[in-house]
Structure formats: C-alpha cells, structure tokens
Amino acid sequence: MKKVNYSYDKITQLIKDNAHKINNYNPDYIIAIGGGGLIPARLIRNYVKKPLYVVTLSLYDDDKIKDTVEIIQWIDNDLSEKKIMIVDEVDDTRKTLDFCIKRFKLINNAKNIGIFVLQNKIKEKLGQLDDDIKYISCENVQDDWIVYPWDL
C-alpha cells in the first residue's frame, strides 16, 4: 500500500483552516476517540473552547481480521441535552466511527452528534452515517496508508 507522510505543520494547518466549521456547529463538548483522535482534538481546542472528553476504542484481530471493537474507556455522561463533536484522525472503513455513534446514542442518549476527521478516505464504507449527523472532514483522500507524525 502506498504511504503518504503527514507533518505536524500540515496537520495543524488543516485544523486551523477547518476549526471554524466546528465553531459554526457549536458543540457543547468535544469528544476525542483515542488513540488516533487525541492529538487532533487537543489541537482543535486551540480554536474551539469547549470541554474535551475522551473515549478509547481499539479494533482487535479475530481470526487475523481486525473486526472486533474493544472498549478501553467510555464516559457515562447523559448527553441527551448536549451537542457533541466526535473527533478522530481518519474515516477509513468507518467501522469504529459507526460503533461509536451507536454507543453514544445507546449509552449516553446522545441526539445531536457531529463527526470531525482530518482525512476521509474515498472508499466503500462499512458503516453508514444517518442524515442527522453533522459530518466534517478536512480533506478527502485516496485510499493510501497515511503516516501521521505521531506514528513515527
């Protein structure tokens, strides 16, 4: 798979250029999906002054296929009256994101959900986003392997 390297400068610029879209959505909370969403969410907070929460998920291998989502940490806030913006680094298969959205609805009673990702990979997705979900991606990219500065 072709690799594409991203620098911190490139990432911070993408966030700087797109943070106004989050402010326009005006969420009550930013929720990072760890680990990939942690650094983007922290950088977003330079421009979006909202409380930052974290949930952590991991995809693990079942029969050598990464197909089971493991919850490392979740929050127990009632989000029924809150607007949330979920932050992750990449929308790849959408499996993790889809799982996350379903769980925020089920466990936290979330009704107003937005998604922010740095890169959306142009490919067939495993999960589908409902129409009522606000979706922001900084850029649409080919299905290459992105090497983030925090991967190095």
Task: Region of 64 please: left (phi>0), alpha (psi -120 to 50) or beta.
Answer: left
Site mask, Mg ion, residues 30-69, x = CB under 5 A?
Answer: ------x---------------------------------
Stretch that binds ligand G4P, among 17-25, 45-53, 132-140, 142-150 (CB under 6 A): 142-150
d(CA 150, CA 152): 5
Considering only residues 89 to 128 of the shown chain, the ones binding ligand G4P according to CB under 6 A are 89-97
Residues 82, 92, 115, CA angle at the centre, nearest 5°?
15
- Number of residues that make up the chain: 152
Task: Phi first, then psi: give them for residue 126, nearest 5 degrees.
Answer: -80, -30
d(CA 34, CA 39): 9
Contact status: 151 vs ligand G4P (CB under 6 A): yes
Residue 130 annotated as catalytic: no
**Residue pointed to by tokens 């949930």:** 55
35, 45, 74, 77: residue in contact with ligand G4P (rule CB under 6 A): 35
Contact status: 59 vs ligand G4P (CB under 6 A): yes
Binding site residues, Mg ion, CB under 5 A: 36
The binding site for ligand G4P (CB under 6 A) comprises 35-36, 57-59, 88-97, 145-146, 148, 151
Instruction: Kindly list the catalytic residues.
Output: 92
